[in-house]
Structure 1
Amino acid sequence: MRTHTLANGITIPLVGTGTNTYGKVDNSYNGELNNDFSALESAIEAGYRLIDTAIYYRNESGVGQTIKDSGIAREEFYLTTKIPETEEYVGSKELVKQTILKSLDNLKVDYIDLYLIHKPIENKEMLKNTWEVLESFVDSGKIKSIGVSNFTLEQLEEMKSFARIKPVVNQIESNPSNWNNDLIDYLQKNDILPEAWGPLSKVTDEQQTILTKIGDKYGKNWGQVLLRYQIQRGVAVIPKSHNQKRQMLNLDLVNFNLSPEDIHIIKTL
């Protein structure tokens, strides 16, 4: 599996699986938890090792148990979770600390590979305090890397005034409806890995037809073309599926390269 070396020297897989509907009734984000993590089990069986969850998803515990039950060594996985931006979790340094400790307990691990702030914290003092607690967990080895999610260029610039450890990842929306090119350019210039959530969402029928035509030349489907485009431009991707065949296809991205002509077509969709 292709990897990327983060600014702190740690490597991260460039393809992971999202989990925001795993373990829930009707595979729905807001569905009640039903402890059915068969989709995560099949993703792990297919070869996914970057597993992306969040406190908002309400399923940290089930994700952690599924990873533990896989029988695969903890070190083989790259585990990401995220702290919500609300006062309930980040209203004080003690709340942040207890939230992180709860994540470690839920996930049944001694350390978390990547801990993100899920959405921008508008209160600057709370943001600074949250970041300082995250930095302290990096210092203790309980978190290996820290980053953010859905932060703008301006918000990242603001963090430079207090961040002793700079964010190594910004997980953002990037798909044909919003490539987020300007932000991605900024992230790459500042050695922050752009990581795309929803990389296969918001694709129109017309765009899918164009992508399918490109894929036919490589023996790949439209989704594989879209994911490969992101990887070739240095963006990590977090697709998600409940279907094992699609999970395997979404991971099968290393044996072809999109031509400059095809890249131009995708870029201008």
Structure 2
Amino acid sequence: MKTIELNTGIDIPVIGSGTNTFGKENKDYQGTINGDTTELAAAIKAGYRHFDTAIAYRNEAVVGKAILESGIDRSEFFLTSKIPGTPEYTKDAASVKSAVESSLSALQTETIDLYLIHHPWDNVEEIAAVWAVLEAYVDRGIIKAIGVSNFQEKELSYLLDHSRIKPAVNQIESHPGKWNDGIIGYSLEKQVVPEAWGPLSRISDSAKEQLTKIGDHHQKSWSQVVLRYQIERGVVVIPKSHSAEHQADNLAIFDFSLTDEEKEIIKGL
């Protein structure tokens, strides 16, 4: 698996698996947690070692369970979780600490590789205060890297200017039709690795048709072309699938490259 070195010095796999509907009844985001690790086990078997969860997903414990059940050493995995940007979790230092400790307990791990603020809120000074608590966990080696999610330039620039440990990652929505080139470019400029959630979602039929034509030249699917485009421009991708076949396909993107002409077409979708 190809990796990118974060500004903290640790490596992040360029492909991870989203998990927000895993371990839930009817594979529904709002579904009751049922503890089913089928999709996670399939992903691990396919070769995934990077998993993305969150307190808001309610399934950190399912991810932790799957890793233990795999029999593979914890050190082989890169785990991301997120603290919600809501007062229940951010109102004071004790609330932030409680959130982190709950994630550690649910994941059944002594360390978390990457911990994100799930989304920004209006008070950037409060965001910086939450960040300072997370920095202390990095100092202690409990969290290896910290970052943000869904931050635009305003919030990210403030945090960059008012933090001791710079954000390592900015996880944002990015897919054909909504590449979010502006914040991706800004993040890269500031040595913050952009990470795409939902990279294969909300894609129009016309975009799929053009992507399929490009994929045919490389004997690849439209979805593989999308993921390849993202990693070629320095973006980590977090696709999600309940299908073992599709999970494997999403990893099979390291044996081809896109031409400059193809990348210009994709950029314009």
How many residue pairs are counted as aligned between the two chains? 269
Measure, in 2, the Cα distance between the counterparts of 1:62 and 1:39: 11
Cα deviation for residue 157 of structure 1 reads 1.1
Cα deviation for residue 177 of structure 1 reads 1.8
**Which secondary structure state, in structure 2, belongs to the residue aligned with residue 207 of structure 1?**
helix
Q: Are 1:160 and 2:141 an aligned pair?
A: no
Q: Are 1:95 and 2:116 an aligned pair?
A: no
Instruction: Tell me which stretches of 4 or more aligned residues in structure 1 moved more than 3 Å.
Output: none
Measure, in 1, the Cα distance between the counterparts of 2:261 and 2:125: 47
**TM superposition score normalised by structure 2:** 0.98
Measure, in 2, the Cα distance between the counterparts of 1:237 and 1:98: 29
**Which secondary structure state, in structure 1, belongs to the residue aligned with residue 4 of structure 2?**
strand
Query: In the alignment, what sits opposite 1:121?
Result: 121
Query: In the alignment, what sits opposite 2:112?
Result: 112
Between 31-40 and 241-250, report the one with greater CA deviation: 31-40
Q: Are 1:200 and 2:200 an aligned pair?
A: yes
**Which secondary structure state, in structure 2, belongs to the residue aligned with residue 241 of structure 1?**
coil
Cα deviation for residue 153 of structure 1 reads 0.5
Cα deviation for residue 203 of structure 1 reads 0.6
Q: Structure 1: give runs of 5+ residues left out of the alignment.
A: none
- 2:78 alignment partner AA: Y
**Which secondary structure state, in structure 1, belongs to the residue aligned with residue 178 of structure 2?**
coil
Q: Are 1:41 and 2:45 an aligned pair?
A: no
Cα deviation for residue 161 of structure 1 reads 3.4
Cα deviation for residue 160 of structure 1 reads 2.8
- 2:258 alignment partner AA: L
- 2:232 alignment partner AA: Q
User: For the Cα contact (< 8 Å) 2:151–2:172, is it kept in 1?
Assistant: yes
Measure, in 2, the Cα distance between the counterparts of 1:211 and 1:247: 19
**Which secondary structure state, in structure 1, belongs to the residue aligned with residue 171 of structure 2?**
strand
Task: Provide Cα deviations, 1:12-65, integer angstroms capped at 9, x if missing partner.
Answer: 000000000000111111111111120011001100011000000000111111
- 2:43 alignment partner AA: A
Task: Provide Cα deviations, 1:225-246, integer angstroms capped at 9, x if missing partner.
Answer: 0000001111000000000000
Task: Provide Cα deviations, 1:150-204, integer angstroms capped at 9, x if missing partner.
Answer: 0001111111332100001000011012111111111111100000000001111
Measure, in 1, the Cα distance between the counterparts of 2:167 and 2:161: 13
Measure, in 2, the Cα distance between the counterparts of 1:48 and 1:246: 12
- 2:6 alignment partner AA: L
Measure, in 2, the Cα distance between the counterparts of 1:222 and 1:199: 12
**Identity, % of aligned pairs?**
52
Query: In the alignment, what sits opposite 1:59?
Result: 59
**TM superposition score normalised by structure 1:** 0.98
Measure, in 2, the Cα distance between the counterparts of 1:36 and 1:72: 18
Cα deviation for residue 122 of structure 1 reads 2.2
